Chains A and B, each alone.
Chain A
Amino acid sequence: MSYEPVIGLEVHLQLSTATKLFCGCPVKFGAPPNSQTCPVCLGLPGVLPVANERALEWGIRVGIALNCRIAEIMKFDRKQYFYPDLPKNYQISQYDRPLAQQGFLEIFVGGQAKRVGITRVHLEEDAGKLLHDASQTESFIDLNRAGVPLLEIVSEPDLRSSEEAYQYLIDLKAILQYLDVSTCNMEEGSLRCDTNVSLRRTGAAAFGSKVEIKNLNSFRAVKLALEHEIKRQAILLDQGHTIPQETRLWDARGLKTESMRSKEGAADYRYFPEPDLVPFHLDRALVDRVKAQLPELPAQRAARLQASYQLSAYDAQVLVQDRTLAELFEGALAAGAKPKPAANWMMGDLLAYANAQGVELSSLKLRPEWFAHLVELVEQGTLSGRMAKELFLQMVKEGRDPAQLAVEGGLRQISDADALERLADEVLQGNRSSVDDYLKGKTNALTHLMGQAMKRSQGKANPHQMTEILKRKLAQVKSSKP
């Protein structure tokens, strides 16, 4: 039987505002446990929340960038459940009047544009963290994170494959990075993601029953979990089983999902309007102001790069996907690099390095002019392609200017004609048999001679010049022979 997956995504984004959503405590990652707390975020008796206007404004910013309708009146509600990381045993969230609704995000999969609906964007407070590993018999609670502003971004079930889901996350993250509202770091938990998936027979209109998947620690995990879950459900359906509505956990080691709780086990959150906060009238002037101050977004940047630098649509898409990448690219151009070689460094070596190391580009602390220097060194003939690649690795590992590194390491291609002539003479004298082979018509003997030249020069000989000199000298030897 053939099935069509129906996928929706729920993204939680920590806003990097200076202070928490309902109190004045700093939003700070990695501080000593419970050092970033006050009576309000500890949920002590008698305290009251006061909404952070900046968080509201940033929420509006995201809502506008996702083409949402911004609420005229929004309110907060209490979502109630008992959990030790939730000091009030309710979370201030938004239920029926969220900040923004009915938006969309355009993604590109396989060269095709697709519009993915955004159901809603709402604000809520984050919970604290439980620490279970410090002791065998006790658990500890760190409430530094309690009250940090979170933006929940819920998509419509418009995605039809794990690839689409993956691309949605890539494109959404790019937009969020451009908006400068979050560090978007999944490792630190500033960006979190749950997904839900159901299968239906290809061509059917009705949705199957929905399975929610949690514990997804990377975009790749989302993709793998969806692939696994789509297979699992298809097998069950083929066997004539029905799929129970439930929440499952992704097991990243075992590469499988496991049941966490059934629909019956789902909590009744007893939502009701938060009486400690009055509804907010988001007046049009505020929304217009936020709109006017919106930065350039990835799609606009891609169009601009494509038009300005004669890049392919694909190259432009890849370059803008990560804000750091796009900024390095444009910065390198501003520092004098040509678009094509600069793009090649960014999209080839740099992305490959970051992927292999599993690091965020922003964490590498690279300067755009370094790429301009790299391009320039190659163009001037100072570095060979191979030398440049080695220098690139040194640059990203050490975080230093390649121009500087080249000088310090004596990394300079030998392009001096006299020196290359002397080198060629040495190579020819030391490899008589290869010279003879060449003269007998075995042209690949030239490759061996080139290799010897590079070896003797420790790779610094300008390969183009060297080849020409060797060819010329071999021709001379041939003509001088009787």
Chain B
Amino acid sequence: MSSGSLASKTIHELQELLASKQVSPPDILEDVLAAIARANPSLHAYLSVDADRLRRQLKEQPPSAGEGRLRGIPITVKDNICITGEETSCASKILAGFRPPYDATVIARLKREGAILIPRANMDEFAFGSSTENSAFGPTRNPWATDRVPGGSSGGSATAVAADLTIAALGSDTGGSIRQPAAFCGVVGVKPTYGRVSRYGLVAFASSLDQIGPLAKDVTDAAIVLSVIAGHDPNDSTSAPVAVPDYAKELKTPLKGARLGVPVLPEAGLDPEVKTAIREAIAAFERLGYTTVPVELPHLAQSVETYYIIATAEASSNLARYDGTQYGFRGSGNGGEGALLEMHLRTRTDGFGAEAKRRILLGTYVLSHGYYDAYYLKGMKVRTLIKNDFDKALTRCDAIVLPTAPTPAFRIGEKLSDPLQMYLSDIYTISANLAGVPALSMPCGFSREGLPIGLQLVAAPFKEDVLLRIAHAYEQATEWHRRTPVMSDK
């Protein structure tokens, strides 16, 4: 095997090579580390990679031969998922140097299956953003065009998968943070049903919306990773005691005669090239024998406002603990009278970036006495309406087809000065989080400039198998997932 080629493979390809003993876990890790050494300086998908530590860990605790569903497979982990002893900073200065003393449930499950974890995928600070530009440690670049954003907040994970700096990755999705970067980087990303995957050990952004999910090179890989990380966890009261199918095995049974719901979308801001790509994808589905039915999502237009009330309210509360007392960054005070308040103020003023502060302020405001009913309570009511929309629409079809994002990847810096425009780029993804339903993004075409376009599928709660089977059928019939970015320095 030539160097670099193993890093470009999928999980299922590597599993065959491992099974036939053509390659060993160290071979795979070395190729991935070589790719990272080559491309990470320009892409900044990882905040840091300690190659020697990874080599040492693999040597000291080799995944036992033949065992484990992900034996020897490198999986990249977003910087907001706790791994014992590994720095987990959420790409924030305030948590710089923080090493959790415990494993997130998903991490424990990946370890148990023999995966090789590569920590520290870059992200927007605390997952606040849609471009990874809000990382306190510098943006990640889109491997398809390095002047473009990779999307966010899981931009590091998406870039690492797209640029073959890993085999697959974990991201987190609160309002599209897996799907939108998957779309911008031309990979597959799954946001599972709320409660499908344990949130224990995921540093919380908005607790009622957050879900961990896979980013992968194809649908099969996404299915393999999801099968491992999904399932009830007694440490997460919001995780559902619903049995987990072997998603990859399910893919082998095609979903015949499935119905796809096609909603009328608010078109403001929808890029014509994206619109065309989605229309063509629908046509491809019809050629596969799927039927399409019109569905209505009347409250989709309100989803951004609703989201920014609920998500910021929860975020303001979840981020209150970063005060410099116990861990992470501590701003210094002068001591004496008022020293505690000063320490809190300095820690939070100097430790949080602008977007984190913006969201803490928004969330604090909407929960304040006298405003709760007008904002948070009303937001929760609209959320129920949005959920009802999806429930109703999904009785008429097996999955709803949507664009993942209204445009392909935008330029670095383009929307940084206009947070509202940035927020609006999440319009098609946010509603799935509000409704708690599973959603998937996969490549469905390219813009004239050669930027990937993402197709989004949304299904009823715990119907990830339906999503993956429909996606797999489409993938089998198309070639989009085979394209890889050609980087100038490659």
Chains A and B form a bound pair: yes
Binding site for B on A (CB under 8 A): 39, 42-51, 78, 80, 82, 84, 87-90, 137, 141, 268, 270-272, 275-278
Question: What are the residues of chain B within 8 A of A271 when measuring CB–CB?
Answer: 367, 372
- A39 to B99: give the CA distance in the assembly, Å: 12
Q: Separation in Å of the B202 CB from the closest CB of chain A?
A: 6
Q: Are B320 and A89 touching (Cβ within 8 A)?
A: yes
A268 touches B368 (CB 8 A): yes
Other-chain contact of A90, B202, B236, B320 (Cβ < 8 Å): B320
A-B contact pairs, 7 of them (CB 8 A): A39-B101, A45-B100, A46-B82, A46-B204, A88-B320, A268-B368, A275-B238
Q: Does B98 contact A (CB under 8 A)?
A: yes
A105 CB to closest chain B CB (Å) equals 31
Quick one: given A44-B327, A48-B199, are A82 and B101 in contact (CB under 8 Å)? no
Q: Could you tell me if A47 and B320 are in contact, using CB atoms closer than 8 angstroms?
A: no
**Of all chain A residues, which has the CB nearest B95?**
A45
Q: Please report the C-alpha to C-alpha distance between residue A45 and residue B329 in the assembled complex, in whole angstroms.
A: 13
On chain A, the residues within 8 Å of B332 by CB distance are: none
Segment 190-242 of B: residues with Cβ below 8 Å from A: 199-204, 206-208, 234-238
Given contacts A89-B321, A268-B368, A277-B237, A46 and B104 within 8 Å (CB-CB) = yes
Q: Are B344 and A82 in contact (CB under 8 A)?
A: yes
A212 to chain B, nearest CB (A): 18
**B238 contact from A42, A46, A270, A278, Cβ within 8 A:** A278
A88 partner residues in chain B, CB cutoff 8 A: 320-321
Which residues in B have their C-beta under 8 angstroms from that of A39? 100-102
B367 nearest CB neighbor, chain A only: A270
Q: How far, in whole Å, are A87 and B323 apart by their CA atoms in the complex? A: 9
Q: Which residues of chain A come closer than 8 Å to B208, judged between CB atoms?
A: 275
Give Cα distance in the complex from A90 to B88, angstroms.
Answer: 22
Q: Considering only CB atoms and an 8 Å cut-off, how many residues of chain B contact the other chain?
A: 44
Residue of A nearest to B195 (CB): A278
B276 within 8 Å of A (CB atoms): no
Q: Are B368 and A46 in contact (CB under 8 A)?
A: no
Q: A87 touching B321 by the CB < 8 A rule?
A: yes
Inter-chain contact B90/A45, CB cutoff 8 Å: yes
Q: Bound complex: CA of A47 vs CA of B376, how far in Å? A: 24
A447 to chain B, nearest CB (A): 71
Q: How far is the CB of A432 from chain B (nearest CB, A)?
A: 83
Asked if B369 contacts A270 (CB within 8 A), the reply is yes
Indicate which residue in B98, B314, B335, B364 contacts A45 across the interface (CB closer than 8 Å).
B98
For the complex, give the distance between the alpha carbons of A84 and B339 in Å: 12
A270-B364, A277-B237 known; A46+B314 contact, CB < 8 A: no
Is B326 in contact with chain A by the CB < 8 A criterion? yes
Closest chain B CB from A19 CB (angstroms): 14
A43 to B235, CA, bound (A): 14
Q: For B316, what are the chain A residues with a Cβ–Cβ distance below 8 Å? A: 270
Q: How far is the CA of A275 from the CA of B313 in the complex (A)?
A: 11
Chain A residue at smallest Cβ distance from B209: A275
Residues on B with beta carbons closer than 8 Å to the beta carbon of A275: 206-208, 238, 314
Contacts of B340 in A (CB 8 A): 84
A48 touches B235 (CB 8 A): yes
What distance in Å separates the Cβ of A25 from its nearest Cβ neighbour in chain B? 14
Report the separation of the CA atoms of residues A80 and B204 in the bound assembly, to the nearest whole angstrom: 16
Given the known inter-chain contacts A49-B237, A275-B207, please indicate yes or no for A141 contacting B325, CB distance below 8 A. yes
> Which residues of chain B come closer than 8 Å to A43, judged between CB atoms?
321, 326
A48 touches B369 (CB 8 A): no
A46 to B212 Cα, complex, angstroms? 12
Report the minimum CB–CB distance from B180 to chain A (whole Å).
23
CA distance A275 to B315 in the complex (A): 11
A42 with B372: CB separation less than 8 A: no
- Cα(A276)–Cα(B202), bound, Å: 12
Chain B residues lying within 8 Å of A48, measured Cβ to Cβ, are 199-200, 235-238
Q: Considering residues A51, A82, A272, which has the most beta carbons from chain B within 10 angstroms of its beta carbon?
A: A272
A49 — which chain B residues lie within 8 A by C-beta? 237
Choice from B201, B326, B369 contacting A46 with Cβ under 8 Å: B201
Least Cβ–Cβ distance between A411 and chain B, in angstroms: 61
B447 adjacent to chain A (CB < 8 Å): no
The reply to whether B317 and A278 contact each other, CB–CB distance below 8 Å, is no
Q: Give per-residue flags for B157-191: 1 if the beta carbon is below 8 A from chain A beta carbons, else 0.
A: 00000000000000000000000000000000000
CB of B103, distance to nearest CB on chain A (Å): 10
Segment 355-376 of B: residues with Cβ below 8 Å from A: 364, 367-369, 372, 376
CA distance A150 to B350 in the complex (A): 36
Min CB–CB distance A144 → chain B (angstroms): 14
Interface residues of B in 67-108 (CB under 8 A from A): 80-82, 88, 90, 95, 98, 100-102, 104
B431-473 interface (Cβ within 8 A of A): none
Q: A45 CB to closest chain B CB, in angstroms? A: 4
Q: Which residue of B lies closest to A81 (CB)?
A: B320
The residues of A that contact B98 with a CB separation of less than 8 Å are: 45
Most B CB within 10 A of own CB, among A44, A48, A82: A48
Q: Which residues of B sit under 8 angstroms from A137, Cβ to Cβ?
A: 335
The 10 closest A-B pairs by CB, nearest first: A89-B320, A275-B207, A275-B208, A270-B367, A45-B203, A46-B201, A268-B369, A46-B203, A46-B82, A88-B321
A256 vs chain B, min Cβ distance (A): 25
- B 301-324 binary contact with A (CB < 8 Å = 1; else 0): 000000000000110110011010
Residues of A within 8 A of B104 (CB): 46
Known interface pairs A44-B100, A48-B236, A268-B368; 5 further A-B residue pairs with C-beta atoms within 8 A, sorted by A's residue number = A46-B80, A48-B235, A270-B364, A275-B238, A276-B204
Pair A50/B234 contact, Cβ less than 8 Å:
yes
B169 to chain A, nearest CB (A): 18
A48-B235 Cα distance, complex, nearest whole Å: 7
Question: In the complex, how many angstroms separate the beta carbon of A375 from the nearest chain B beta carbon?
Answer: 55
A276:B237 contact, CB within 8 angstroms = yes
Chain B residue nearest to A267 (CB atoms) is B369
Q: Are B317 and A46 in contact (CB under 8 A)?
A: no
Q: Give the distance to chain B from A128, nearest Cβ to Cβ, in Å.
A: 11
Q: A43-B321, A268-B369 are in contact. Are A276 and B238 (CB under 8 A)?
A: yes
Q: Name the contact of B320 in the complex, choosing from A46, A51, A80 (C-beta under 8 A).
A: A80
Q: Are A89 and B323 in contact (CB under 8 A)?
A: yes
CB pair B326–A87 under 8 Å, yes or no, is: yes
A268 vs chain B, min Cβ distance (A):
5
Closest B residue by C-beta to A141 = B325
Chain B residues near A89 (CB-CB < 8 A)? 320-321, 323
Nearest CB in chain A: distance from B345 CB, A: 10
Chain B: which residue is nearest A138 at the CB level? B335
Residue contact B321 to A46, C-beta cutoff 8 Å: no
**Is A47 a contact of B200 with CB atoms below 8 Å?**
yes
Closest chain-B Cβ to A224's Cβ sits at a distance in Å of: 32
Distance from B45 Cβ to chain A, minimum over Cβ atoms (Å): 22
How close is B352's CB to chain A, nearest CB, in angstroms? 14
Residues of chain A lying within 8 A (CB to CB) of residue B323: 82, 84, 89
Task: Return the contact of B237 from the options A46, A268, A278 (Cβ within 8 A).
Answer: A278
| B window 215-272: CB within 8 A of A | 234-238
Q: Which chain B residues border A44 with CB–CB below 8 Å?
A: 100-102, 326-327
Query: In the docked arrangement, what's the CA distance between A270 and B364, Å?
Result: 8
Contact of B321 among A45, A50, A278 (CB under 8 A): A45
Within the assembled complex, what's the spacing in Å between the Cα atoms of A276 and B209?
Answer: 11
CA distance A12 to B235 in the complex (A): 27
Cα(A140)–Cα(B376), bound, Å: 37
Task: List chain B residues, Cβ under 8 A from A80.
Answer: 317, 320, 367
Taking the nearest CB of chain A, how far is it from the CB of B161, in angstroms? Answer: 23
Which residues of chain B come closer than 8 Å to A47, judged between CB atoms? 102, 200-201
Pair B317/A51 contact, Cβ less than 8 Å? no
Give B336's nearest chain A residue, CB to CB.
A137
